[in-house]
Structure 1
Amino acid sequence: MAKAKKDGRLVVATNRKARHDYTIEDTYEAGMVLHGTEVKALRQGRASLVDGFAMVDRGEVWLENVHIPEYFQGSWNNHATRRRRKLLLNAHEITKIAAKTREGGYTVVPLQLYFNEAGRAKVEIGVAKGKREYDKRQALREKQDKREAQRAMSARRYIGE
């Protein structure tokens, strides 16, 4: 089942690894062109964004390698699980994304797949630059230090009372 509503969103899938592996510079909300059985599979809360990426091809943005499993109650016209899916963005957003990805070192990764308040399936994509190994270690170290500081502060609060 899909996760609980957060900010009016019914979250289906989140790509947590993307925020670890990449530095996200810009984010965009895009609609998706889906088949009926894909929507039903998403409503069951089943999808994976782990290997997914987006690319600009002839003025259109396409989502690749996102896994939406087959809908079990579907018939012979079930969808392919890892097919290309067209993303719906404004023209100026597409030109911004295309310009960034042409620079080199930038890629477009899906961050979150969700249903908005109107019940439309949306994907949040991010223009990202890959992190180096030492950047990843530094980010983990900062996260651990922050967590330890929070623990120390909460322990001190209980001792002082």
Structure 2
Amino acid sequence: MNTGKGLFDIFNYKLNYLHFIIDQQIQQQKKNQQIKRTKNLRMIQIVEERSEQQQQQQYEIDGVSQRIWEEVANQYRQEIQSLQLQLWQNSVDKMFQKSNGVPKKYLQKLKMMKMGKSNRQCSICCNQFQKDELIIQLPCKHIYHKSCVDSWLQSSTKCPNCRSDVLEALKNQEK
């Protein structure tokens, strides 16, 4: 039985897929940030242009000098930069949070049994089931090694074969 190699291959596949998804999300966030940065820079540019115009005219607006308006513009610029940094950090934090798998309380409700004599194989690790081996049957009736499906359902709510939603099916069984 070559369970270790199969699990290693699955782990590598999942890791490569996770890197791909993270790269895609980072690229999209960079695009979104560039758009926001461009808009914010344009707003700052407008404030600075107005500030320069007012400085050239050498007059006060509502009794407040030009210097105070420049300070306000600088404060806004700093606040915008701080908000951009917070937005970026929040996005990165969301990416690296544990993915939305099936909660443990639902995993315990899955049908667990011992395998009888069979020529079938687990479609996660691609190894044949052995007699008296622990297997789990999902609500869609597909069966897997317990260790394989447990690790799969920690990061996904879908059946690896038919893509039916395991979490929804378990919630419906509760009702």
Shorter-chain TM-score: which interval?
A: under 0.3
- Which protein has the bigger strand share? 1
TM-score w.r.t. structure 2 length? 0.21
**Structure of higher RCO (CA pairs closer than 8 Å, 6+ residues apart):** 1
Could you state the TM-score of these two structures normalised by the residue count of structure 1?
0.23
Q: Which structure has the larger Rg over C-alpha atoms?
A: 2
The structure carrying a bigger helix percent of its residues is 2
